[in-house]
Structure 1
Amino acid sequence: MVGLVESHGGRSDAGWWDRIRPHSLGWVTARDRDGVLVGFVNVAWDGGDHAFLIDTKTRGNWQRRGIGTEVVRRAAQGARAAGCEWLHVDFEPDLAPFYVDACGFRPTDAAGLIHLYSHE
């Protein structure tokens, strides 16, 4: 996971996975023939009707091959099978073609977001 995060331009954080895992409904991974992690999405949830996509990633040299779309599709199937009614995702505007067009999310004006490090 550290290699995938760093290949995606992120910073790996020691102990990250141990903190995240208890809040996850599950996760979907994709690996190449050698077992290298090339795609990932974590499905967090509220323990009831709502699931949330977190940390959707595809290794840079594996992007634009349908891997991200497939891990999101499987995450949605898993959330539905677990009894969730809603699957949420937050994303920057430049990722709308992926989440809206490729993955089938619908945009909504009825959501809010506070960036906690810049908001007082």
Structure 2
Amino acid sequence: MPELRIDPFPSAAELSTLWSAAWDAPAPRDFTPILSRSLAHIGAYHGDRLVGFVNVAWDGGIHAFLLDTSVHPDMRRQGIATRLVREATRVAQERGAEWLHVDFEPHLTGFYRACGFKPTEAGLIKLA
């Protein structure tokens, strides 16, 4: 079972490799400046290899937001994403967040409900 690490600050190369495999697309940017402003981020490591990741962004107050939950395709269906989300939830609460938000595609509804998220109404504007 992979080891979870809190705030591991993975290299741009590590995140790019995971992102490309998990999302079947090149990483959109260097995450280094993003992670420095995050409430937390959690990495799942199999040995020294980053195999899972989730970022917890926040508003500087009581709201935190799960972003970029990713698991390498070779490591899926082992509970890694669930462990990442639960650890991110624990750390966000420990660091003062009172609300944890997540947006997801419809096919992930069951996963996020199993992680404790409740459905809500929200609004969205596409800016680009």
TM-score for the superposition, normalised by structure 1: 0.88
Equivalent in the alignment of 1:54: 67
| Structure 1 stretches lacking a partner, 5+ long | none
Q: Which amino acid aligns with 2:127?
A: L
1:116 and 1:48 map into 2 onto residues whose CA distance is 24
Kindly report the root-mean-square deviation, in angstroms, between the aligned alpha carbons of the 2 structures: 1.2
2:113 and 2:127 map into 1 onto residues whose CA distance is 26
- Quick check: 1:107 aligned with 2:119? yes
2:36 and 2:127 map into 1 onto residues whose CA distance is 23
Paired residues, number: 113
Q: Which amino acid aligns with 2:36?
A: P
- Runs in 1 of length 4+ with deviation above 3 angstroms? none
Q: Which amino acid aligns with 1:64?
A: R
Q: Percent identity?
A: 48
Equivalent in the alignment of 1:21: 35
1:18 and 1:30 map into 2 onto residues whose CA distance is 17
Q: Which amino acid aligns with 1:26?
A: A
2:109 and 2:25 map into 1 onto residues whose CA distance is 20
2:89 and 2:50 map into 1 onto residues whose CA distance is 20
1:18 Cα deviation after fit:
2.5
TM-score for the superposition, normalised by structure 2: 0.83
| Structure 2 stretches lacking a partner, 5+ long | 1-14
